[in-house]
Amino acid sequence: MNRVKKILASVLVLLLTGALFLPSVIKISHALFEHQEIECKNLGTIHLHESELDCDFHKFNLTPEFYPELQEYSILPPRIIKEEINDKYTFLSKYQKLHFSLRGPPSLS
């Protein structure tokens, strides 16, 4: 049963990956193989070539752009809180060793 789940999962991954890349593959194959290549026969002269304007495939946008509306933010003035700290031990950590908890050298004991 476990092997069947792995096979189904891998087939599902391949199908989703193919569906993801299918529009790009179609557009690239159309651009490469569906248009006529015109060979220039007047190499020494200055001239213009006609472009192929009957291809409507470029009108189909496969990756549409989305621009959400920008939100306006207002900047609030900072609140100034003045509070005096009278306790000198408020900034000490619970895990910091204090001067009176340190051990002295072994020669003094």
Q: What are φ and ψ of residue 26, in 5° steps?
A: -65, -45
HEC profile of the chain: CHHHHHHHHHHHHHHHHHHHHHHHHHHHHHHHHCCCCCCCCCCCCCCCCCCCCCCCHHHCCCCCCCCCCCCCCCCCCCCCCCCCCCCCCCCCCCCCCCHHHCCCCHHHC
Residue pLDDT tens, the chain, 109 long: 789 999 999 999 999 999 999 888 888 887 777 776 677 777 777 777 776 666 766 666 666 677 888 888 888 898 888 887 776 665 666 666 666 665 666 665 5
* Among the listed residues 63, 64, 59, the one whose alpha carbon sits nearest the alpha carbon of residue 20: 63
* Rounded CA separation 53/105 (Å): 93
Sequence ranges of the domains in the chain: 1-36
* Rounded CA separation 32/17 (Å): 22
- The answer to pTM > 0.75 is no
Q: Which residue in this structure is represented by tokens 């609030």?
A: 76
